[in-house]
């Protein structure tokens, strides 16, 4: 079995980066964890972290949700997210060969979501359920 390398770094902004390298897998996983979840919500904003998690995947100014998934699946990538009591996470998985493109697509969604009105009410109902 190939050795594993681990690197942990905290940036000046407080963001902590954890890199685990496993050379025996021809894939890369980027998993971003935000220290916010349902425990941080009150009665008036209950479900907001989960709602925002859903809305991030509805597209941005550059591409629609459908176009995002078409481009990601075209290179064999996959992604998902989850909201928990004290954290919300977003991840993308791809082959090592296509990780730069998969990460770029995922980064674009997370850093500049559009929150289209047509998706707003649909996702609101999903989260309320």
More confident site: 34 or 73: 73
Q: What are 55-72's pLDDT values in tens digits?
A: 998 988 899 999 999 999
The whole-model pTM stands at: 0.79
Q: What is the average per-residue pLDDT within 9-34?
A: 82
Q: What confidence tier does 129 reach under pLDDT thresholds 50, 70, 90? A: confident
Torsion angle in degrees (nearest 10) through CA of 90, 58, 127, 74: -60
Helices vs strands, H then E, count in the chain: 4, 5
């Amino acid at each position: 079995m190939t050795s594993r390398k681990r690197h942990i770094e905290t940036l000046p902004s407080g963001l902590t980066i954890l890199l685990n390298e496993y050379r025996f897998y021809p894939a890369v996983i980027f998993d971003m964890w935000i220290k916010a979840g349902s425990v941080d919500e009150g009665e008036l904003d209950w479900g907001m972290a989960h709602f925002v998690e859903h809305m991030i995947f509805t597209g941005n100014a550059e591409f629609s949700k459908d176009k995002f998934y078409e481009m990601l699946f075209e290179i064999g990538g996959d992604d998902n997210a989850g909201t928990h009591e004290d954290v919300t996470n977003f991840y993308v998985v791809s082959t090592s060969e296509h990780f730069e493109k998969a990460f770029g697509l995922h980064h674009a969604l997370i850093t500049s979501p559009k929150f289209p009105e047509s998706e707003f009410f649909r996702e609101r109902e999903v989260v309320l359920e």
